[in-house]
Amino acid sequence: MNQAQREQLDRGDAVRREFTVILDTHIDELFEFHYMISSYFAEEAQGKEYSRRPPLGFRLCGIGEPLTRIAVRPAWHYGKKVLDPHSITMETLVERNQGKRDGKQVFRISHDFSIVLTANDWRWTSFSHTNAIDGAERIVEVVQSFLMCRDDVFARSKTHCSICGRALTDDQSRTRGIGPECIKKTRFLEVLSTQSVLA
Q: What is the pLDDT of residues 151-180, one digit of tens each?
A: 889 889 888 888 888 899 888 888 888 888
Instruction: Catalogue the long-range contacts made by 143-149 (C-beta closer than 8 Å, 24 or more residues apart).
Output: 143/26, 143/29, 143/30, 143/33, 144/26, 144/29, 145/63, 146/33, 146/36, 146/60, 147/29, 147/32, 147/33, 147/36, 147/193
The mean pLDDT of the chain is: 84
Position with higher pLDDT, 23 vs 108: 23
Q: Which band of pLDDT confidence, cut at 50, 70 and 90, is reported for residue 191? A: very low
168 in any annotated domain: no
133 in any annotated domain: yes
The pLDDT of residue 123? 92
Please state whether the peptide bond connecting residue 85 to the residue before it is cis, i.e. omega within 30 degrees of 0.
no
Q: Tell me the residue range of the domain where 113 lies.
A: 3-148
156 in any annotated domain: no
Q: What is the pLDDT of residues 26-69, one digit of tens each?
A: 999 999 999 999 998 998 888 888 888 888 899 999 988 888 89
For the chain, the domain total comes to 1
Is residue 150 pLDDT above 90, yes or no?
Answer: no
100 in any annotated domain: yes
- Percentage of the chain beyond pLDDT 90 is 31
Position with higher pLDDT, 27 vs 130: 27
The pLDDT of residue 32? 94
The number of beta carbons lying within 10 Å of the beta carbon of residue 114 is 16
Q: How far apart, in whole angstroms, are the C-alpha atoms of residue 87 and residue 89?
A: 7
172 in any annotated domain: no
153 in any annotated domain: no
44 in any annotated domain: yes
Taking each continuous run of H as one helix and of E as one strand, the counts in the chain are: 6, 5
164 in any annotated domain: no
Cβ atoms 177, 156 nearer than 8 A:
yes
